[in-house]
């Protein structure tokens, strides 16, 4: 059922706005009048349709790739918490979705919720309606909702999902906060060096050219670099953009991308950070799925999708095959030679005690704490190194400028 954004006058003459559903514009106006409102303006919602015909599938897909933004983690966490609270308060699912749509301040999220509400009203299951909007609800989200519907504890599962989403949001905020200062330092360093090479050095070149003496090699190199950057900066930017495009095209091949991901894992520090981050996310996802009642094999197939690194994803495929053949999860994880020994031991303990979901959560939490400690140490070491690099670059430029000035003074004396 389509939705419409409206502006109307209330009984007291106050102008109101919101969203209403109707088979057509006339039906929407009738509903507003039944509510005691006088419609002023009515227009179709910009929310994307849930289905599309075969003839316009390609155009819709292109438009979604170009214009559709993903729903932020903060908005998703707030929405999930609202749904959990309303369902646990005893409100029917359709009324819960309608209330959440009215409370939402984001037009994109409002349109999605109204579309989900329409599908549920038509008799679809909630997880099926949510899966039609992958830009908002991931495969993990839909799988947990399906498990909650099948077990009859949808409100409880949504509460767990809200906790999981909020934890992800907090982790991303911590990482973003840690990266702010280094990014500012890099920007300042680039700006200072660019200003010196663009404005200071060219003005001094004319002075140096009038001197009879030979310029120092450092000054000659600085002048040559400045002239090259001034003459070729546009070519450099175009070359950099072309290099990025070619790299992205090359990485579309799965074999090249797999070799690149294997090379990343082989790097001394970056590889360890990548491995810890991805395995922690895998354990956390698997834990929340198994706690929600999703069968282990299906939970493994869903958790596999959180691996962005193809090498780790292939290891997850081997784990799935081993478990499907009757093997234990911890032995399959140990044979993959990807997961940290501590995580493997905790999974083994969870399988033996029947508390696999709790042990997976503990393993993920331990891994995330270790990752945060590594990132903190890295940022602590990186910041002074960056300051020293910036100071060294500026000192090199200043010395290249001062050396011929000192030579001129010696000639004058």
Q: Is residue 146 part of a domain?
A: yes
Number of domains in the chain: 3
Q: Is residue 112 part of a domain?
A: yes
Q: Give me the domain span that covers residue 134.
A: 73-167
pTM (two decimals): 0.61
Domain boundary among 167, 191, 219: 167
Domain identity same for 366 and 302: yes
Domain identity same for 356 and 319: yes
pLDDT at position 319: 92
Q: Is residue 93 part of a domain?
A: yes
pLDDT at position 255: 85
pLDDT at position 57: 38
Of 115, 113, 102, 48, nearest in space to 76 by CA: 113
Domain identity same for 85 and 157: yes
Domain identity same for 159 and 108: yes
Domain identity same for 99 and 40: no
Chain centroid to CA 84: 24
Q: Is residue 341 part of a domain?
A: yes
Domain identity same for 10 and 83: no
pLDDT at position 60: 39
pLDDT at position 241: 92
List per-block mean pLDDT (blocks of 10 residues) for the chain, which spans 413 residues: 70 69 72 75 58 38 46 84 88 87 83 87 85 83 80 80 79 75 80 76 68 72 79 85 88 85 87 85 83 83 83 90 89 88 89 87 83 78 81 82 74 60
What residues contact 143, with CB distance under 8 A and at least 6 apart?
A: 127, 289, 292, 294, 298, 299, 302
């Amino acid at each position: 059922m389509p939705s419409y954004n409206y502006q109307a006058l209330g009984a007291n003459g106050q102008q109101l706005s919101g969203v209403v559903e109707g088979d057509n514009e006339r039906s929407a106006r009738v509903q507003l009048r039944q509510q005691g409102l006088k419609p002023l303006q009515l227009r179709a919602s910009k929310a994307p349709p849930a289905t599309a015909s075969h003839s316009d599938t390609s155009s819709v897909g292109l438009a979604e790739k170009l214009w559709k933004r993903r729903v932020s983690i903060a908005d998703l966490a707030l929405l999930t918490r609202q749904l959990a609270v309303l369902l646990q308060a005893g409100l029917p699912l359709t009324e819960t979705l309608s209330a959440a749509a009215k409370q939402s301040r984001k037009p994109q999220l409002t349109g999605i919720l109204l579309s989900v509400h329409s599908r549920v009203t038509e008799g679809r299951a909630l997880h099926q309606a949510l899966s039609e909007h992958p830009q908002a609800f991931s495969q993990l989200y839909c799988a947990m909702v399906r498990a909650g519907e099948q077990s009859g504890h949808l409100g409880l599962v949504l509460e767990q999902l809200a906790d999981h989403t909020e934890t992800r949001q907090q982790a991303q905020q911590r990482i973003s906060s840690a990266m702010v200062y280094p990014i500012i330092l890099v920007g300042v360093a680039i700006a200072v060096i660019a200003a010196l090479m663009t404005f200071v050095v060219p003005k001094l070149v004319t002075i140096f050219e009038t001197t009879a003496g030979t310029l120092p090699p450092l000054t000659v190199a600085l002048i040559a670099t400045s002239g090259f950057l001034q003459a070729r900066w546009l070519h450099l930017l175009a070359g950099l953009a072309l290099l990025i495009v070619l790299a992205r095209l090359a990485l579309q091949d799965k074999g090249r991308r797999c070799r690149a991901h294997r090379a990343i894992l082989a790097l001394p520090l970056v590889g360890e950070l990548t491995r810890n981050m991805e395995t922690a996310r895998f354990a956390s996802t698997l834990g929340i799925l198994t706690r929600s009642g999703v069968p282990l094999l299906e939970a493994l197939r869903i958790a596999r999708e959180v691996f962005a690194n193809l090498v780790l994803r292939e290891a997850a495929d081997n784990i799935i095959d081993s478990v499907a053949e009757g093997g234990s999860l911890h032995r399959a994880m140990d044979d993959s030679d990807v997961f940290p020994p501590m995580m493997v031991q905790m999974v083994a303990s969870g399988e033996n005690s029947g508390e696999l979901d709790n042990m997976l959560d503990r393993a993920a939490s331990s891994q995330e704490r270790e990752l945060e400690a590594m990132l903190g140490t890295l940022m602590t070491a990186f910041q002074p190194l960056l300051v020293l690099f910036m100071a060294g670059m500026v000192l090199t430029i200043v010395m290249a400028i001062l050396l011929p000035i000192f030579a001129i003074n010696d000639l004058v004396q």
